[in-house]
Amino acid sequence: MVSTDGYETILRALVCLALTQARIVAMCSFIPPFGRNALPGRLRVTLTGVLGAFVLPLMLAQAPEKFNMALLAVLLLKEVFVGICIGYVLAIPFWIFESIGTFIDNQRGAGIASIFNPELGSETTPLGTLLGRAYAVLFFTAGGFTMFLTVLYDSYLLWDPWRWSPELRLDALPLWLGQVDTLLRLTVLYSGPAIIVMLLAEMGLGLASRFTPQLQVFFLAMPIKSALGILMLALYLHVLAEYANGLAGGMGDVLSILRPYWEVL
């Protein structure tokens, strides 16, 4: 027979584990390699459960003597919000490289070949999928998963799940808008060389059709722009890889970015 104390201990452990899952699942939902469509359901639950188990001793040590269900529901929503915010910042590099490929594909006329990307749960283009998965490979080979774990577990030290923290302030709004600015700016910057070459090719074809009306520019434009765009992308791919490595290495600075705006109560 299991004593009443044993049942209470098990219940406390399950409640604490459930509270850890709110932040972890929300974070993983934003990062494409850990998304709900990238990992099967059972594997994803197992992964988040194992990650949460390492936080369980800390949660049990700080847990109150008695649980208030209303307070637990509010804390659960707070943990989901914290996980969404951290996952949003961590996912920006993945979205940047996905957007680079999509931007180039749209310019070369391959946007009509949109396919469903199970990692993002939305449509994307062939080159967007390629660059997105290439960055995911670089993320793991460059130690990105270790940095992900560091950010995850350090966030529990900074923002206690049992307290109503972090504090939200209006001056943190530019931080979130700045992430969108970073996404758009780096997408245009990194795809710029290929885009410029394709625009010049399109201008040249336009002039050629002006003086040679019988030239079928419509049928020539896409293969010519595709060849030039892919060639230019191949020429500066090593530079793009260096930028990608820098973005992957900068993931460990996420908490230092958020901390000045999210002071603990």
Three-class DSSP category at 164 = coil
Q: Hey, is 211 helix, strand or coil?
A: helix
Contact (Cβ atoms closer than 8 angstroms) between residue 34 and residue 46: no
Check if the beta carbon of residue 139 is closer than 8 Å to that of residue 95: no
List beta partners, residue 123.
116
pLDDT at position 167 over 80: no
Winning range, highest mean pLDDT, from 3-17, 64-78, 92-106, 163-177: 92-106
Residue 116, SS3 per DSSP: strand
Residue type for position 153: Y
Confidence of residue 1 (pLDDT cuts 50, 70, 90): very low
**Closest to 23 (Cα-Cα) out of 164, 143, 139, 155:** 155
Of 11, 2, 5, 20, the C-alpha closest to 67 is 11
Mean pLDDT across the chain: 81
For tokens 């002039």, name the residue: 207
pLDDT at 265: 46
Number of Cβ within 10 Å of residue 136's Cβ equals 20
Q: Tens digit of pLDDT for each residue in 206-229?
A: 787 777 777 777 677 788 888 888
